[in-house]
Structure 1
Amino acid sequence: MDYIISADVYIQQLSFEHTHALFRLTEANRDYLREWLPWLDTIRSSEDTRSYIRSTITESSAGGAPNFAVFYRSRLCGVAGFHPVDKHNRTSAIGYWLAEKYTGQGIMTSVVKTLLDIGFQQYALNKLEIHCAENNARSRAIAERLGFTYEATLRECEWLYSKYVNHAIYSMLASEYGSE
């Protein structure tokens, strides 16, 4: 399913059709993404990307929320979606990344806003979180811009290639959604 966000931006549920383009985008942005994303060493081929897409499809078809390819002016520019859904507690976390040349244009903010709509309206979630490295100012700005509440900093909770990083945790409750 496609969600049209603006005249320039839309998201499309990840599918095997995205495999090669997504791998090429990852390769072209590997150095840029490496600053904040720990999984890059596990994606070394189109087949690795295909395996990742397969896992997101499996999760979604088992009742989890989907992950999406992000497009700007019909060009694949990133990925956004939900980490596994905790059905009992009706919670999930939103994750995202964008190719370097597409940053700073409000693309991901508008995409995450759409994910809030999907999570709270279609999946009846009670709480959505964003976890990001404490020093990742751009990712934190998205959460803050959209009205998420800063909850905590988890100390040295992620190994990022050569060091541990702290994570800032933000959340939004269904009762807070759209209340601004």
Structure 2
Amino acid sequence: METESQLNSEIELEKLNVNHSQELYDLTEANRNYLSEWLPWLDQIKTSRDTKTFIESTVKVASSGGAPNYAVLYKGAICGVVGFHEINKQHRIGSIGYWLGEVFTGKGVMTAAVAKLLTVGFVQFDLNKIEIRCAEGNLRSRAIPERLGFTYEATLRQCEWLYSEYVNHAIYSMLKSEHLT
């Protein structure tokens, strides 16, 4: 088992760019069944061109000072994505999301990636609060904010349509003052 410092040195966040398109699409395809349990956007990604279009849109938002998204690299290979869904500059609040290929789960990879993203949010964007919303039943996703010391705030009832049913979201948050202590 890797130590936390070894793992942190093997995890990199690289701003999404079109050069990631094929590798990210291939990862999505290889994990389509696994990811479909909790991610409603998979039906919109049918070709590598769809992935490229998504990346182009995130690059455009980030280049105008908006919410960035990152490829998560583990030992140099793309293993998932982490980033901001949105950043509300007026209220200094950001909301983040993430996903990871199945073979990379259970190693602490996404916990380390989210910890790095918190620094981006609190330092680079000077956010006061960062939220993570997870489907209530997605215990692996919920474990990440819990491990990182986020506070559970509430459950939003039936707030996301997931293929054939509505799911509740558990909302977690961390304040800048909590991150620095």
TM-score range, shorter chain: over 0.9
Q: Give the superposition deviation at 1:59.
A: 1.0
What is the CA–CA distance in structure 2 between the aligned matches of 1:116 and 1:7, rounded to whole Å?
17
What is the CA–CA distance in structure 2 between the aligned matches of 1:109 and 1:148, rounded to whole Å?
12
- What is the letter of the counterpart of residue 69 of structure 2? N
Q: Give the superposition deviation at 1:84.
A: 1.6
Q: Which residue of 2 aligns with 1:24?
A: 26
- The question of 1:156 aligning with 2:158 is answered yes
- What is the letter of the counterpart of residue 96 of structure 1? Y
What is the CA–CA distance in structure 2 between the aligned matches of 1:115 and 1:70, rounded to whole Å?
10
Specify the SS of the correspondent of 1:84.
Answer: strand
Q: Which residue of 1 aligns with 2:97?
A: 95
What is the CA–CA distance in structure 1 between the aligned matches of 2:137 and 2:24, rounded to whole Å?
26
For residue 136 of structure 1, the aligned residue among 135, 138, 149 is 138
Q: Deviations over 1:48-84 (max 9, x none)?
A: 1011101111111111131100111111100001112
Q: Quick check: 1:157–1:164 contact (8 Å CA) kept in 2?
A: yes
Q: Deviations over 1:158-177 (max 9, x none)?
A: 00001110000000111211
Specify the SS of the correspondent of 2:170.
Answer: strand
- What is the letter of the counterpart of residue 167 of structure 2? V
Q: Which residue of 1 aligns with 2:49?
A: 47
- The question of 1:10 aligning with 2:17 is answered no
How high is the TM-score relative to the length of structure 2?
0.94
- Equivalent pairs: percent with the same residue? 59
Q: Which residue of 2 aligns with 1:66?
A: 68
Q: Give the superposition deviation at 1:178.
A: 2.5
Specify the SS of the correspondent of 1:6.
Answer: helix
- Between Structure 1 and Structure 2, the one with more helix by share is 2
What is the CA–CA distance in structure 2 between the aligned matches of 1:86 and 1:51, rounded to whole Å?
24
Q: Which residue of 1 aligns with 2:3?
A: none
Q: Quick check: 2:86–2:96 contact (8 Å CA) kept in 1?
A: no
Q: Which residue of 1 aligns with 2:128?
A: 126
**Uncovered stretches (5+) of structure 2, i.e. residues with no partner:** 1-6
Over aligned residues, Cα RMSD in angstroms?
Answer: 1.2
**Uncovered stretches (5+) of structure 1, i.e. residues with no partner:** none
